[in-house]
């Protein structure tokens, strides 16, 4: 049985899945369709991904324009600061962000609705992340919001992050709006 907590960002929820631990180790159920559906997470998750990043790496803020993905993120090993930015123009929290620490201690997950840009930075020596996504990744549809946009003003907990050149070239929130490069959300997805 999971517990789901809303945050200040509409569509960005913290999930506390069933977690059992004793002297032998632990057992974690990372996803069970009916349980998540009972909490309003109705997305059809079609792909699982695993990534590893080193300490100081900042990835993001990623999203897809025409085929935005819902995501469930679980940290399998390590500690990260996970961030979502609401890029859905019809949302009450459009342009706002929320961040949360996730780790392999005291298991929690984050659910992000389609249209929320995702990024994270690694606070431990390395971090392994598991993602469930509701749509296939399409490199031709990928876009991003610059990680240090002054108008969004994310309070990242690291200085001088290691950033991939692609992520360093992303546009500001204002530029994305003016270019029409925000996620295209069907009202049935909201």
CATH classification at residue 14:
2.60.120.10
Among 152, 143, 140, 146, residue whose Cα is nearest residue 169: 146
- pTM value? 0.93
30 assigned to some structural domain: yes
Strand 142-144 relative to strand 58-64: parallel, antiparallel, unpaired? antiparallel
Residue 21 in tokens: 């631990």
107 assigned to some structural domain: yes
In the predicted model, what is the mean pLDDT of residues 151-171?
A: 96
Whether 30 has a pLDDT exceeding 90, the answer reads: no
150 assigned to some structural domain: yes
57 assigned to some structural domain: yes
Residue 3 in tokens: 């517990």
In the predicted model, what is the mean pLDDT of residues 27-45?
A: 91
Phi then psi for residue 121, to 5 deg, are -125, 150
**Residues taking part in catalysis:** 62, 131
Banded model confidence at residue 40, pLDDT cuts 50, 70, 90? very high
- Give me the domain span that covers residue 139: 3-184
DSSP 57: B
189 assigned to some structural domain: no
139 assigned to some structural domain: yes
pLDDT at position 80, please?
98
DSSP 10: T
63 assigned to some structural domain: yes
190 assigned to some structural domain: no
- Taking the C-alpha atoms of residue 21 and residue 167, their distance in angstroms, rounded to an integer, is 38
pLDDT at position 189, please?
47
Among 185, 182, 188, residue whose Cα is nearest residue 42: 188
The number of domains in the chain is 1
Residues 83-128 pLDDT 10s: 999 999 999 999 999 999 999 987 789 999 999 999 999 999 999 9
């Amino acid at each position: 049985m999971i517990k789901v907590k809303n945050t200040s960002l509409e569509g960005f929820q913290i999930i506390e899945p069933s977690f059992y631990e004793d002297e032998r180790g632990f057992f974690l159920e990372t996803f069970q369709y009916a349980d998540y559906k009972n909490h309003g997470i109705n997305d059809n998750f079609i792909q699982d991904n695993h990534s590893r990043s080193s300490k100081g790496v900042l990835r993001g803020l990623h999203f897809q324009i025409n085929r935005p993905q819902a995501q469930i993120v679980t940290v399998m090993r390590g500690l990260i600061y996970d961030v979502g930015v609401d890029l859905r123009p019809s949302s009450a929290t459009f342009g706002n962000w929320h961040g949360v620490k996730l780790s392999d201690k005291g298991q929690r997950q984050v659910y992000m609705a389609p249209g929320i840009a995702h990024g994270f930075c690694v606070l431990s020596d390395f971090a392994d992340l598991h993602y469930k996504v509701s749509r296939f990744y399409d490199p031709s549809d990928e876009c991003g919001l610059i990680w240090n946009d002054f108008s969004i003003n994310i309070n990242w907990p690291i200085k001088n992050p290691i950033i991939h050149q692609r992520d360093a070239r992303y546009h500001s929130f204002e530029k994305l709006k003016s270019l029409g490069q925000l996620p295209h959300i069907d009202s049935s997805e909201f």
